[in-house]
Amino acid sequence: MRKFNMYQIDSFTKEKLTGNPAGVITNADGLTANEMQKIARELNNSETAFIFSSKNNMYDVHVRFFTPVSEVPICGHATIAAHYARAIENNLESCRIYQKTGAGILPVDIIKEQSDYRIVMTQGKIEFGDIINGIHKESLLSSLNISDKDLLENYPIQIVSTGHSKVMIGIKSLECLNTLQPNFNGLVNLSSIICCNGYYVFTINTQDSDPLVHGRMFSPAIGINEDPVTGNANGPLGAYLVQHQLVSHNNSLFTFKAIQGEALKRPGTIEVEVKIEKNEPEEVKVSGNAVIVFKSELVLN
């Protein structure tokens, strides 16, 4: 009999049953890819994180991430959840650890705050992909059931990645955002053409507002019609806003907060920090809190 520590954790929140739920297995050594996929399907969260022991001194842990239908290279909210669970289990002090992921070996900062923790995830390499124009833009707008007049001016629709690419789509109205009813089949079909499976639709408040951003993220091609709160959407968004000179900053750092999940009645807050060099985004971090909803033991033969 093999026994595994299994958690359900809500990330980017301190209130249970809000934010973004993730499954976590903290002692995943011995699990096969097929077993991990079945566990992720059983828990049926947007992602489940599996923590493996390190095999060398280049990293502290190896973390793999599965949606209910496929493995993905990295996941923001499941990274927060995984390291929150690990910190609780091991009663960690504030520290930096390195996790091996499908997006490379990346640092995670565990910040002890009284008897609780905040987790800071450094994301992967910033990459700016295609700007979506022409027939692909028409297909995207049709699938989102919006039109050109709904879009923010001077905000190109672009694929951006910090380890797991997303399409950035800026719109004018919070009301429009919260009433979106996408054609998910249309988004799935477009994903196979543009080679990007996530669509982050966002609005921008005035820069002195807190939060700056409200957003919704759709990834039906990987089995997630809508993700409540997405680190790997808001991180790339920060890089995008700096790259296109859409926000002011001090030429070294740009920070903002984003709220996501309101339309699903699972709101959560992400803090984003973009390091800037020569007026271009150099590194992205996202941080947030988490709360354990339940802990159990999974027993497998």
Query: Is a pLDDT exceeding 90 seen at residue 207?
Result: no
Q: Which of 35, 47, 153, 262 is catalytic?
A: 47
Phi-psi region of 104 (alpha: psi -120 to 50; beta: other; left: phi over 0): left
Query: Is a pLDDT exceeding 90 seen at residue 208?
Result: no
Average pLDDT of every residue of the chain: 97
Gap between the Cα atoms of 109 and 97, Å rounded: 6
Residues 6+ apart with CB under 8 A from 156: 131, 244
Region 41-50: mean pLDDT is: 96
Confidence of residue 185 (pLDDT cuts 50, 70, 90): very high
Query: Is a pLDDT exceeding 90 seen at residue 169?
Result: yes
In the residue annotation, 35 being an active-site residue is answered as no
Query: Is a pLDDT exceeding 90 seen at residue 30?
Result: yes
Region 240-245: mean pLDDT is: 98
Model confidence over 59-76: pLDDT tens digits?
999 999 999 999 999 999
Query: Is a pLDDT exceeding 90 seen at residue 159?
Result: yes
Residues of the chain with pLDDT > 90: what percent? 98
